[in-house]
């Protein structure tokens, strides 16, 4: 019978573990001392065995030793919990002094669970469990279950130790079409600056993300005052005709119409005293686009693709040379509204004009495509195509000579970069473009065409089948309207399909007997506010998480494709002793896939241990019956 106390085992095992702290120190300082210390320990074990085999066996098979080792294992685990594990050195220096950080590194406390001393504790305990189990020999029938249970613990710990020492984990950042034959090592989900070579390659052929069916909701946020935060939102399904009660706002919300893919179709409607118009179609290969010309300044012309020319629509064919010159001449028209009076007149760059009671205005510059150079901060034009025309106005006070300036935008007349127009006036401008050294085609409703280059008539001809054919594309004049107006029709271009390209909702908000019609999009970054900022509305998809994401990969070995597989969550690729798991994706990059890599040589030993544990439990219960 072993009469030695728990304190004896606690002290002796503690001294042996302390020796392995010294072994860890030698490993980090001097490899020769490290190997020498291991040799000394081996000699000590051999000496102990030859001196007294029974005492050696009794020591390793003692339950008291197991208790002591479990306590030391718990202390080691606490150390690994309290000290930061595998983070950047800068992070350590935020919490520890440089001297203490040196101590941490010397004893590998920054990677406790892979340190020599910690792995020794685990191995020592495992050896103790094995000897405790073997102590039951010779086995009796009723002890088989007990033996298997104890042996299973040894097997499980052994498998876990093998995985901890020889197992590896890593990560591969894939893009479609790439082949990788190495991966970055990771530890505790931190990418290390170390790579592991594979003796085969993996190619990502395709990456696919599958989402749940979209479920768009109108979210309504409310608050009592604007100096308070919004509370938890109401969530209303965007279903046509549904009426919802918003108690906090004492209001009703009705879904008038939900568009999966909102589009506006332009058309011409017949009205009295309207403007002559033409509905046109541009055909370029398999691509078709429609548009409308109105016989009014600025709305009567269209630049051909790649600025190859200009098409101008006029209801009546110009008869004289002057009429033709007026049509193709570049013009700037200014509209000034002061004290309720509006003046509209043509202006020229560099000229000055009377603006208001106290100010004159000079036209100092023009750009067809307004932009700001980020390097110099100066206004520049992105090109000659007039997609964002802007004119620069310089105001001067008639009495004091004080000057101020402003850029006025044709497409955004209210936008002024925070500057104000003098005397409380408002100003708009219209740019009527032309083109140099390229043909201008003046098309009339009777089908006649006048081709003009640099203000001179080059030729006259008639359209064939109401179209202008330019070889790789053509413009078809589908319909002329003598007195028409622009008709805009809102349609759902999804046509019943699962196409949520541009979700838009139209709602009716009823509050205190008054109704307000609102339209907002899921793409809107800002909320739509009501009730002086006390109510906010957003359209958002409730189902944003993916249902599944999968990588279609090919394994290549010795230049040959040897295996194709789809990697999904919980369905890894197994090849060459490695497991490749689908672990990440980037919703902004549809060609990216994150694959985690693991090699776990002890996993099957762990499975064997659990099988033995289950079998042992069954047998122990069976023999008690």
Task: Please check whether residue 324 is in contact with residue 440, taking contact to mean a CB–CB distance below 8 angstroms.
Answer: no
Question: Which residues have CB under 8 Å from 194's CB, separation 6+?
Answer: 184, 185
What whole-number distance in Å separates Cα of residue 317 and Cα of residue 277? 14
Question: Which residues have CB under 8 Å from 449's CB, separation 6+?
Answer: 441, 442, 443, 460, 461, 462, 463, 468
Provide the mean pLDDT of the chain.
89
The predicted-structure confidence for 177-228, as pLDDT tens digits, reads as follows 999 999 998 876 677 778 899 999 999 999 999 988 999 999 999 999 888 8
Of the three residues 473, 490, 507, the one that is the final residue of a domain is: 490
Task: Kindly state whether residues 224 and 236 are assigned to the same domain.
Answer: yes
Please count the structural domains in the chain.
5
- The reply to whether 486 falls in a domain is yes
Task: Kindly state whether residues 390 and 295 are assigned to the same domain.
Answer: no
Task: Kindly state whether residues 523 and 374 are assigned to the same domain.
Answer: no
Q: Which domain holds residue 549?
A: 168-211+545-599
Residue 377 or residue 584, greater confidence: 584
- The reply to whether 104 falls in a domain is yes
pLDDT bracket for residue 411 (50, 70, 90):
confident
Task: Kindly state whether residues 320 and 440 are assigned to the same domain.
Answer: yes
The strand pair at 243-246 and 168-175 is best described as unpaired
Residue 559 three-state SS: coil
pLDDT of residue 17: 94
- The reply to whether 150 falls in a domain is no
The predicted-structure confidence for 460-513, as pLDDT tens digits, reads as follows 999 999 999 998 999 999 999 999 888 888 899 988 788 899 999 999 999 988
The predicted-structure confidence for 586-625, as pLDDT tens digits, reads as follows 988 999 999 999 998 888 888 898 898 888 888 877 766 4
The predicted-structure confidence for 521-532, as pLDDT tens digits, reads as follows 999 988 999 988
Task: Kindly state whether residues 591 and 555 are assigned to the same domain.
Answer: yes
pLDDT of residue 257: 96
Look up residue 427 and give its two tokens. 């100003």
Task: Please check whether residue 583 is in contact with residue 596, taking contact to mean a CB–CB distance below 8 angstroms.
Answer: yes
Question: Which residues have CB under 8 Å from 103's CB, separation 6+?
Answer: 109
Q: Phi and psi at residue 565, in whole multiples of 5°?
A: -155, 155
Instruction: Report residue 223 CA to chain centroid gap.
Output: 31
Look up residue 219 and give its two tokens. 């979210």
Closest CA to 44 of 71, 65, 15: 15
Of the three residues 363, 398, 432, the one that is the final residue of a domain is: 432
- The reply to whether 619 falls in a domain is no
- The reply to whether 614 falls in a domain is no
Task: Kindly state whether residues 444 and 485 are assigned to the same domain.
Answer: yes
Task: Kindly state whether residues 29 and 119 are assigned to the same domain.
Answer: yes
Task: Kindly state whether residues 86 and 121 are assigned to the same domain.
Answer: yes
Task: Kindly state whether residues 441 and 422 are assigned to the same domain.
Answer: no
- The reply to whether 159 falls in a domain is no
- The reply to whether 451 falls in a domain is yes
Task: Kindly state whether residues 129 and 52 are assigned to the same domain.
Answer: yes
- The reply to whether 114 falls in a domain is yes
The predicted-structure confidence for 255-269, as pLDDT tens digits, reads as follows 999 999 999 887 788
Task: Kindly state whether residues 305 and 441 are assigned to the same domain.
Answer: yes
The predicted-structure confidence for 559-580, as pLDDT tens digits, reads as follows 999 999 999 988 999 999 999 9
Task: Kindly state whether residues 202 and 314 are assigned to the same domain.
Answer: no
What whole-number distance in Å separates Cα of residue 380 and Cα of residue 389? 11
pLDDT of residue 619: 82
The strand pair at 310-314 and 439-444 is best described as parallel
Beta bridge pairs of residue 195 = 184
Look up residue 132 and give its two tokens. 């405790």
Burial class (CB in 10 A: 0-12, 13-18, 19+), 403: exposed
């Amino acid at each position: 019978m072993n009469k030695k106390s728990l304190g004896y085992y606690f002290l002796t095992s503690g001294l042996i573990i302390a020796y392995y702290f010294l072994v860890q120190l030698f490993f980090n300082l001097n490899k020769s001392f490290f190997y020498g210390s291991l040799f000394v320990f081996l000699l000590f074990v051999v000496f102990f065995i030859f001196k007294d085999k029974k005492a050696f066996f009794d020591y390793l098979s003692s339950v008291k030793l197991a208790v002591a080792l479990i306590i030391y294992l718990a202390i080691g685990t606490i150390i690994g919990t309290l000290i930061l594990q595998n983070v950047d050195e800068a992070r350590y220096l935020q919490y520890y002094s440089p001297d203490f950080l040196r101590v941490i590194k010397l004893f590998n406390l920054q990677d406790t669970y892979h340190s020599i001393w910690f792995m020794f504790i685990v191995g020592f305990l495992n050896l103790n469990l094995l000897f405790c189990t073997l102590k039951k020999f010779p086995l009796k029938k009723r002890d088989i279950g007990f033996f298997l249970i104890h042996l299973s613990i040894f097997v499980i710990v052994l498998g876990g130790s093998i995985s901890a020492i020889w197992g590896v984990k890593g990560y591969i950042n894939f893009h479609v079409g790439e082949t990788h034959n190495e991966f970055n090592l990771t530890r505790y989900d931190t990418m290390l600056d170390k790579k592991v070579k594979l003796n085969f390659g993996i190619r990502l052929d395709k990456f696919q993300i599958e989402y749940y069916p979209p479920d768009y909701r109108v979210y309504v946020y409310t608050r009592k005052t604007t100096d308070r935060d919004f509370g938890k939102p109401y969530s209303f399904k965007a279903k046509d005709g549904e009426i919802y009660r918003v108690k906090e706002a004492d209001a009703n919300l009705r879904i008038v119409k939900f568009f999966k893919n909102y589009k506006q179709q332009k058309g011409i409607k017949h009205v009295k005293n309207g403007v002559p118009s033409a509905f046109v179609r541009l055909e370029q290969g398999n691509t078709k686009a429609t548009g409308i010309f109105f016989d009014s300044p600025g709305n009567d012309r269209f630049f051909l693709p790649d600025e190859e020319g200009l098409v101008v629509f006029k209801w009546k064919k110009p008869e004289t040379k002057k009429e033709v010159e007026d049509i193709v001449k570049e013009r700037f028209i200014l509209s000034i509204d002061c004290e309720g009076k509006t003046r509209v007149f043509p202006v020229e760059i560099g000229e000055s004009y009377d603006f208001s009671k106290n100010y004159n205005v000079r036209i100092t510059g023009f750009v067809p495509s307004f932009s700001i150079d980020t390097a110099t901060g100066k206004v520049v034009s992105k090109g000659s195509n007039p997609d964002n025309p802007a004119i620069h106005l310089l105001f001067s006070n008639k009495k004091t000579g004080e000057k101020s300036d402003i850029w006025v935008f044709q497409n955004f007349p209210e936008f002024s970069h925070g500057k104000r127009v003098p005397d409380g006036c408002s100003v708009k401008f219209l740019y009527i473009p032309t083109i140099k050294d390229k043909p201008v085609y003046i098309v009339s409703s009777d089908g006649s065409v006048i081709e003009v280059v640099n203000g001179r008539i080059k030729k006259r001809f008639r359209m064939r089948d109401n179209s202008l054919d330019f070889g790789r594309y053509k413009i078809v004049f589908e319909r002329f309207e003598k007195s028409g107006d622009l008709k805009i029709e809102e349609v759902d271009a999804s046509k019943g399909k699962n196409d949520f390209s541009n979700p838009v909702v139209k709602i009716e908000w009823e509050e205190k007997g008054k109704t307000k019609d609102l339209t907002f999009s899921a793409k809107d970054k800002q909320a739509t506010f009501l009730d002086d900022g006390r109510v906010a509305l957003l359209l958002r998809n409730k189902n944003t998480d993916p249902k599944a994401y999968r990588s279609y990969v090919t394994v290549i070995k010795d230049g040959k494709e040897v295996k194709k597989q789809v990697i999904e969550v919980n369905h890894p690729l197994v090849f060459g002793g490695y497991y490749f798991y689908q672990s990440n994706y980037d919703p902004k990059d549809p060609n990216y896939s994150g694959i985690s890599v693991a090699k776990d040589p002890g996993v099957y030993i762990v499975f064997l241990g659990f099988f033995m544990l289950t079998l042992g439990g069954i047998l122990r219960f069976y023999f008690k019956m």
